[in-house]
Amino acid sequence: MADYILSLRNVRKAHGDKVVLDNVTLSFLHGAKIGVVGPNGMGKSSLLKLMAGLDHPNNGDIVRDQDATVGMLQQEPPLTEGKTVLENVEEAVGEIKSKMKRLEDAYMEMGDPDADQDALMAETGELQTYLDNINAWDIDSKLEQAMDALRCPPGDAIVDNLSGGERRRVALCKLLLQEPDLLLLDEPTNHLDAESVQWLEGHLKTYKGAVLAVTHDRYFLDNVAEWIAEVDRGSIHGYEGNYSTYLETKKERLKVEGLKDAKRARMLEKELEWVRSNAKARQTKSKSRLARYEELAAEADKARKIDTADINIPPGPRLGDVVMEAKGLTKGFEGRTLWDDISFSLPRAGIVGVVGPNGVGKTTLFRMITGSETPDAGELNVGQTVKISYVDQSRGGIDPNKNVWEVVSDGLDFIKVANFEMNSRAYVASFGFKGPDQQKKAGVLSGGERNRLNLALTLKQGGNMLLLDEPTNDLDVEDALLARRTGCSTSRAAPWSPPTTGGSSTASPPTSSPGKAPRRRRASGSGSRATSSPTRPTRSSASVLRPPVPTASPTVASPATDQTPADSARLSRTDAPSRRVVTETPRRVGAL
């Protein structure tokens, strides 16, 4: 076995004019548990695709251990169309099933007196030993457990009819059962509820192979990662420990960088004064002085910090007194009831969260509101003044061959956003697409960039009621959505705490101020260390709509606060074995 499961040697990767990896040299150790973080569009998904062999670098080499297997969960994973969920998942253990079938057939053949008994004895012995070593006899139990833990759709469901979230869960289940030596996960917690995420965390902690997970779920990183790889402007920085330890260490690094930036700025200012001097003065100076200025300017531009401005939501048309009312709403599929005789009303300026485990009807509620699904019984009344803007899970309908600016502007310099006319490039820039990023093809965008592009398209419509289905999927920690509007917002997500069920079906106005959505509070990595592993925060609610449906029913809540672990205790890596990171060239990524 090679010392490293995979190595990058002077790897450079660019998309058009944007360089995402710039002469990166890294080596990954067997069994390492690594979280990959960084702003959207910095190259995290590109890194995983290069490691998986799904893409190739512009320059440099990628060396893999020839004996190691590599598997990757993509943001839009491929499945075998036309087959059922169970048939797709069983592909992961197809070789094992084949050997088990062959062993059974070989034992049957031994009953034939004319068969070559010596050959059959040798073959059955080898097969028995192989299957015993991998504990193949529990494979059906493992398969069933994984499908249940990840809330996969029914085994007889055809994958062609599955939603994007359901396809990802099936693909993740299939990949985990394959047990590759190098497991590459791109946003593994997307579309998973709290219990599924908890199961995945426990599974990865004991996983024998190396794991690289690109995720913006900081709680997942705290519980799983042994160290963090930060992708930032073409470089990769390694930090020992989990996400909280990374925040603490990065804070110190940024202090040092800040001093360097200040010194660089002073030097650049001096050179700029000289460049601006008159021509006669410049003639007396060396040409190398001009070259030095250009070098300093290029270095300052490369080190420029990323702007993470908030997104302003334009106000939509005025809402009337009636926003949305449901009376005796009932909906189910194939004999399974999702919503049972539920009644509620949504007030003006309401900010409502719809939470619950996967598959209990959250997206179905949104589809009934938009009219793409009809209730089996009851009434759902949407006010006449309501204009709905809906972002669904699929994030579809975007031409991959158009660049970002063309998708939003249709090639126009000025566009209408709600009731306002504004410069199209300025509007696109407000969603984090600045300069050359506006020329990127939509087909090469990362998951977070596609999400921001979808938000730009949706908010451009100028609705006064937002329906956001998993709005934070793929968004990095710095992405903030600040709602400065008079309207309504309804979003759905998997909860971090178990939902309550039963009770009355009424909703009251939220306690937050009507014109503004509550900000997410960011976890800090500084401060005292906690003495136990961090847990996911419990989200309190100002108003709760509790449909009287079976257990695992969705709960509609209007969040008043968003507690983070930083509110009660600073997160820190605890109970972890002592490990070190070697940063010589090649740098070793992983735990020694």
User: In degrees to the nearest 10, what's the CA dihedral of 456, 459, 461, 463?
Assistant: 170
Whether domain 311-517+534-561 has CATH 3.20.20.70: the reply is: no
The pLDDT score that the predictor gives to residue 274 is 55
Q: Phi and psi for 328 in degrees, rounded to 5?
A: 60, 35
The pLDDT score that the predictor gives to residue 214 is 92
Among candidates 10, 55, 42, 22, which has minimal Cα distance to 440? 42
Q: Phi and psi for 336 in degrees, rounded to 5?
A: -105, 120
Taking the C-alpha atoms of residue 201 and residue 218, their distance in angstroms, rounded to an integer, is 12
Q: Which two tokens stand for residue 359?
A: 């598959």
Among candidates 232, 186, 218, which has minimal Cα distance to 573? 218
- Does 1-69+180-267+570-592 match 311-517+534-561 in CATH topology? yes
Beta strands in 69-111 (DSSP E): 70-73
pLDDT digit string (tens) for 104-140?
888 888 888 888 888 888 888 888 888 888 778 888 8
CATH fold for the domain made of 1-69+180-267+570-592: Rossmann fold (3.40.50)
The contacts of residue 206 (CB under 8 Å, 6+ apart) are none
Taking the C-alpha atoms of residue 274 and residue 293, their distance in angstroms, rounded to an integer, is 9
Q: Phi and psi for 113 in degrees, rounded to 5?
A: -65, -20
CA 569, chain centre distance (Å): 25
Query: Can you give the residue ranges of every domain in the chain?
Result: 1-69+180-267+570-592, 84-178, 311-517+534-561
Q: Is the dihedral of CA 52, 216, 28, 182 positive or negative?
A: negative
Q: Is 94 strand, coil or helix?
A: helix
The pLDDT score that the predictor gives to residue 70 is 94
Q: Which two tokens stand for residue 128?
A: 């028995």
Which pTM value belongs to this model?
Answer: 0.61
pLDDT digit string (tens) for 448-492?
788 888 888 888 888 888 888 877 665 554 443 433 444 555 555
Taking the C-alpha atoms of residue 582 and residue 117, their distance in angstroms, rounded to an integer, is 56
Which residues of the chain register pLDDT less than 50? 282-285, 304-309, 477-486, 494-535, 537-592
- Taking the alpha carbons at both ends of the chain, their separation in whole angstroms is 16
